[in-house]
Structure formats: C-alpha cells, structure tokens
Chains A and B, each alone.
Chain A
Amino acid sequence: MLKRKIGKIALGFAAALGASAALATVGEARDLTVVSWGGAYQDAQKKVYFEPFKKASGAPMNDESWDGGVGVLRAKVQGGAATWDVVQVESDELAVGCEEGLFEKLDYSRIGGEAAYIPPSVNPCGVGAILYDFVLGYDKDKLKEAPGGWADFFDTKKIPGKRALRQGPKTTLEIALMADGVAPKDVYKVLATDEGVDRAFRKLDTIKGDIVWWKAGAQPPQLLASGEVAMTSVYNGRIDTANKNEKKNFGMVWDGALFTLDSWVILKGSPNKDAAYKFLDFAGKAENQSKLSENIAYGTSNKDAAGRLAPAVLKDLPTAPDNIKNAVEINVGFWLENIDRLTERFNKWAAK
C-alpha cells in the first residue's frame, strides 16, 4: 500500500519536473520584451515608443523595468533562460557587458546607419538612447538666490542646511574636485592621481556632517520637497518631472554638470532579434526621439532630433548648447578601473 503511494508521489514529482521543463520551452516562443528604468521615464517611453511601435508593427511586445547592474545581465545571459531581449543600460554596464560578450554586436545598417547618431552614442554593442546629467538641484521656493555651482554646494555659511549626494565614490569625487576649483575638463586628470583623490576626500570632509546620502534616483526630489536638504545632486529629468507633475518649483545649475549616456542593447542569444532590430530602428528615428524629449527632459541620440524641438523645450535639455558647454562626461574607463578601490576607500572615509 505504502509502496504504491510512494510510487505515486514519485510519479507526481516526475510529472511536476516534466511540466516545469515544458513550461521553460514554452517560454522560448515569447513576445519581444524591452526593459527600461521604470518611473516617469518609462511612462514617457511607453507613450512615444512602446505603444506606437506596437500599433505600427502589429507585433506584440512587453515592457519591464529593472534597477541596473551588470551582474543582473550576466545572470540573465549565463543562466541560459534570458527572458529579456532589449535592455536599456548605463555606460559602464555597456562597456563591461560588451567585454564579457553579454550583448549582440549591433548591425547599424538595420537601424538607420551610424551616421544618423551623435558620435558618443555609437558603440559596437549598443546604440545611445538618452543623454542625461547629474546636476545641482535646489528648491526655488526655499533659496531665493540660485547657487553659483558646486563651490556654493560646499559652502554651508553662504547657504545653510544639509546637502544630498549619491552614495559611493562615483560622481561624488568629481563634484568635490569641481567644488575645490578643478575645471570640469581636468577632473579625471586630477582624479587619476593619489593626490587628487586625497584632495577630493579633504573637500568632502569640510561638509561631512551635513551630507545625506541617497541611493535611488527617486530620493533627491523627495529630499528637496520635504525640506530635508537645501541642495542635492540629482538626475536632471527627475527635477523636470517634479516640476511638471507635482507642481514643484525646483531649479537646476547646469554649470559643472556630469553627463552620461544610456544605450539600448540586445541580449546575447535573444530569440527575438528581428523584432528587436525593428524596435531599435523605430526608437532611433528623429521624429520619435523628439517626442520623448517633449515628454521628459533628456537629450536623445539621433542627430536630427534636437532640430525638431521648440526652443522652449530645448533650453531645458542636457544637449542644449548652453547646458553642455561646461559639462563633463562621466569617464567610464576610469571608473571600471577604480570603482572597487575607491568604493572601499569611500566607505572607510564614511565610517570614520
């Protein structure tokens, strides 16, 4: 009796295993899945890319969101059950993933040719999606006078109150050096020396007790709105969204901004490569990209996209000539080489 029962259990177990294996194979014939950063940004993308693309192509697609991290992509690809096809990645994820072979090499002839895009957005493994800035953000209702730049950010006498910076060494050390008088174009030259790193930490020491560290992009607007901090480093798009949707009166200082690009990649071994290329081609067209900038204040990668915008929209974009004049591009190579060492150093400093 018992033996027969055990047999049944074993049968059931085998059936369950078989079913899960069957499910896994069903999963391979899935719809195109595009992954982006969520929040207001992905809402804008839904409106100008995802929904119109579905209509235009007649093909189904899903969109998901993620929080970044090349480790996540590595696990997806090496795990052999990648459920994503097209992912929007940051510049360091693009570089490392490209080196590790996590992405398909892009055939630019299928997405309008390399000449259609601004040079920094062309990469063998990915194509630029947006260009955005870390800027100095503040609340105009609380600060009557706009801060002059990062030097004022570190001047607690001139502007009292707490400040917020992104936790970790990346962006923080660059900002500290610019506050200490280093010209934006020389930041990485100085940071590449031990003396430069010491100098950045010395500058941070001057306001150590007044810094609140944020970890997610949604936090800085919240910290400003609640009056927790007087100024913060923040993604420019978040300030714009808070002003548009929450009726805030936040301001930005473009001088000494740190800019970087996000890119679209196709994950290695994607079963939906054709659909993925069709999507990238659609999202790379100037007329579609300009609509994105109208919805959220990010610059885009197509050379002709900015020309289609009204001057009122353009002046708030990172790619506007006045705004990019004194901005510095976050140096991916530098951070790939030094992130571990400087993260340890940063945490040592924080715990002191």
Chain B
Amino acid sequence: MTNALLTGANASTEVPLKRRLRRAERTRQVKALALVAPLLVFLLFTFAGPIAGMLWRAVDDREVRQVLPQTIAALANWDGKDLPNEGAYAALASDILAARAAGTIAIAAKRLNYALNGFRTILTSTARNLKAVPEPGTAKETLAKINPAWRERATWTTIKDAGGPMTGFYLLAALDLTRNADGAIVAAPADQAIYRDIFVRTFLISLGVTALCLILGFPVAYLLATLPPGRSNLLMIFVLLPFWTSLLVRTCAWIVLLQSKGVVNDSLHWLGIIDEPLRLIYNRFGVCVAMTHVLLPFMILPLYSSMKAISPAYMRAAASLGAPPLTAFLRIYLPQTLPGIGAGSLLVFILALGYYITPALVGGAADQMISYFIALYTTETANWGLASALGAVLLLATLLLALVYGKLVQGQQVTGGMKN
C-alpha cells in the first residue's frame, strides 16, 4: 500500500513524516465524507438539482429551434438589415407545414409571442392558410399574401433572436430590459416595466416586517429569558401556539379581525373613536401586520436562546460600578444579544422574501410580492422561462444580501450558522 505510492528507482524505505501525516489526514476526510454521503446525495437530488434545473430554464431557449429548424439555419447568415432572402421564406414555409403536421406550431408561437405580442396569431393563421409547399421562387409572396407581417423586418429579427439554444431574453425581462431590433440592450416599454418595482417592493416589505418583528420580539424574548421558569414556560407556550397553527388559518383570522365590519373596526366604532371604518386590510398595512404575526416566533426563539446565555451577574456588576440602567443595557447587555438579533433578523428577512399566500390574501393589487408573480407565471400562464428568471434574480439578490451581511459582522458568530 505504502510502496505503491513511492516512485523512482532508489526510493527510500522511509516515507517522510509530512506525507504520512497528509495520508492519514486524507483517510480521515474520506471517512467523514462517507458518513455524510447519504445526506449529500439526498440534498443533491432534492435541492441542488431542482435549483440548477430552475436556473437552466431561465436561459434555455430551444423551443423555436426545434419547431422551425430550417428557418433558424437559413437565418444564421442573415445580417438583419433588409428582409431575408427567398431561401429563408422557403425554409419557413416548409417548417410551418412540418410543424403543423406534428402539431407543434403553438409551442413556437407561444415563445415568439413573448417577444412580439401578436406573433401567436401571425404564426397560427399562416399555418392555417398555407395549404402546400409554395412553387420555387414564390415563397416570399405566398407568405406575405397570407399575412403582411412577413414583410416586416421585426417579424424576422424576433425569430432570429429566439433561435436559441440559450437566451438572455427572460433574465433581461426580469430586470425590465429588452433588446431592440439592432440587438442593443434597452429599457423595456414603460407599461411592461414592472419587475424592478416589484423586487423593491418585496425587499421593502421584508425589511419592514423584520424591523417590526425585532421591535416587538425583543421585549418578549427578554421577558422569557428573565422570568422564573414556571411563568416563562407558560409565556413560551403562547409564543409557540401560533407557531404550530396553520399559516392559512392565521392569515384568515386576520381577515376576520381587520375587515371593515371586523372585530377591530366594530370595537372602535362602538367606543365612538371612529365613525367610518378604517381600511386595515387589502392594503400594505394588512400585509405587514399579518406577516409580522406569522414570522414573530422566528425572531423570538433565536433572541431567547442568546439572552438565556447571558449571566445576570454582568448587569449587576455594571450597576455596582455605577452605570445607569440605560448605559448598562446599551454597553453590556445589547452587544451580547447581537448574535440572536442577527440570526433572528436574517431568518425573518429571508423567509419574508419568499412570502406568497399571506400577501395574496390580505394585500391589495399593489402589495403582491415577487413570489406571487413567480407562481402566476409557473401555473397560470406557463411562462416558465420568465418564472425561472424571476426566481434566479430573487435567489441571487438573497445570496448577495446574506454575503454582505456576513461581511458586515465579520468575525462575530451572528450569521445564524452562515459562514462567509
């Protein structure tokens, strides 16, 4: 075994210590790896694999290439300045006839329609009306007669751009960008440029909810950590009870509480504080309230565990040395809770980023977060490319934030287990 590793004719019989040490080290590493291998394989299949698949879908663009192969080949040498030559028209005609027979026209039509609204009609109507292969040399006029769009340069650049096999189209769209007819990246038309705003909205709501959770959760966690065990356990049950209740139930309970004839408005009305019901739901306020309530335990539990570890002797020592309560709190207690604050905030923030059902049920049309749109494009319109691109942008932004956060608190064990 050891000899096998030795090379050279006059190899010494004595293996250097350094190498033996390395070998022992390596054996240990291999054994450790073998122990975690099942979990690693499991994660690879159920977590990393699907995520890679999602990222791949954001750039995958083979639909048009599969349906109109000859056309894409014919357009490869087209400079995009004037209309393509007769050969490209003939290739398109024969592709359309073949695709119609195979029933695949709609797949290309759908993809091209994303880039140029109305393309679905152009392609399906052409397929319907093209009866046979045009005579050589007449493909151009035949197609143009069926649909004048075939005389437009933009129609052809759209096909060429969608030729794949990979595209930045979806990722650009997720950032409100598009390519113009000359291939330059420009801002998307104003009435379609919505995703940047929605990302900003998602981050702002998550940030607000995180801040609210911290403000509300900190005193509760402090109480939990300092009360005698009996009462602290009772309080802990109050924290955990909602934690164990279904998310949907809690969201609907807020609808009952906050609607215009709900518990809160009726009570205020009965007390004579308001005449007209306040709008507490189907707006940003409702979203923040419901999400804060749902996510509060995720803030309280890490805070509680970090506070539990702080010895009360520190505060007593600070007081005996003459520190007023506020100073003692700010300089002695607060710094020791930072790991808990960090872990809780990161947990709440990242969970909030992906929230879907709560804003969907208690938010208005202007309060939907990015996950609503990812779900919409995944299930309703089946635009998986855009859904994946939005998911990829969200994932990237979240990772970046976590990294920045990790850099900010360098050296402190506050990343909730996320090492940088």
Interface residues, chain A, with chain B CB atoms under 8 Å away: 2, 6, 9-10, 12-13, 67-72, 74, 96, 99-101, 162, 167, 211-213, 215, 226-228, 333, 336-341, 343-348, 350-351
Contact = CB atoms under 8 A, between A and B. Distances in A.
B380 interface: yes
Nearest to A101: B103
11 contacts: A10-B37, A13-B38, A68-B379, A70-B379, A71-B384, A99-B110, A337-B113, A340-B117, A347-B194, A350-B365, A351-B198
Given A228-B259, A337-B121, A348 B379 contact: no
B261 A69 contact: no
Given A227-B261, A228-B261, A340-B114, A96 B382 contact: yes
Contacts of B118: 337
Contacts of B110: 96, 99
B376 interface: yes
B31 interface: yes
Contacts of A340: 113-114, 117, 381, 383, 386
Nearest to A344: B192
Contacts of A351: 194, 197-198, 201, 365-366
A333 B379 CA distance: 18
B361 A215 contact: yes
B120 A336 contact: yes
A211 B366 CA distance: 12
Interface in B364-398: 364-366, 368, 373, 376-384, 386
Contacts of B378: 69, 71
B169 interface: no
A140 B360 CA distance: 29
A99 B107 contact: yes
Interface string B193-222: 110011001000000000000000000000
A215 B359 CA distance: 11
B254 interface: no
A69 B191 contact: no
A265 to B, nearest CB: 15
- Majority-rule SS of B interface residues: helix
Contacts of B37: 9-10
Contact of A100 (B38, B106, B259, B261): B106
Contacts of B260: 162, 226-228
A236 to B, nearest CB: 22
Give me the 7 closest cross-chain CB pairs, A-B, nearest first.
A69-B379, A99-B106, A350-B365, A71-B379, A227-B261, A71-B382, A344-B192
A167 B282 CA distance: 12
Interface in B81-117: 103, 105-107, 110, 113-114, 117
Contact of B382 (A2, A10, A70, A343): A70
Nearest to B109: A99
Given A71-B379, A71-B380, A99-B107, A341 B192 contact: yes
Contacts of A70: 379-382
A341 B194 contact: no
B419 to A, nearest CB: 27
B106 A96 contact: yes
Contacts of B383: 340
Interface string B332-375: 00000000000000000000000000001100111010000100
Nearest to A350: B365
B117 A337 contact: yes
Interface in B165-193: 190-193
B29 to A, nearest CB: 13
A351 to B, nearest CB: 5
B247 to A, nearest CB: 15
A211 B364 CA distance: 9
B41 A69 contact: no
A348 B194 contact: yes
Q: Residue among B35, B105, B117, B282 with the most chain A CB within 10 A? A: B282
B34 interface: yes
Contacts of B137: none
A10 B40 CA distance: 12
A307 B270 CA distance: 54
Contacts of B312: none
B69 interface: no
A346 B376 CA distance: 14
B120 A213 contact: no
A351 B366 CA distance: 5
B34 to A, nearest CB: 5
Interface in B246-286: 259-262, 282
Interface in B10-34: 31, 34
Nearest to A17: B41
A8 to B, nearest CB: 11
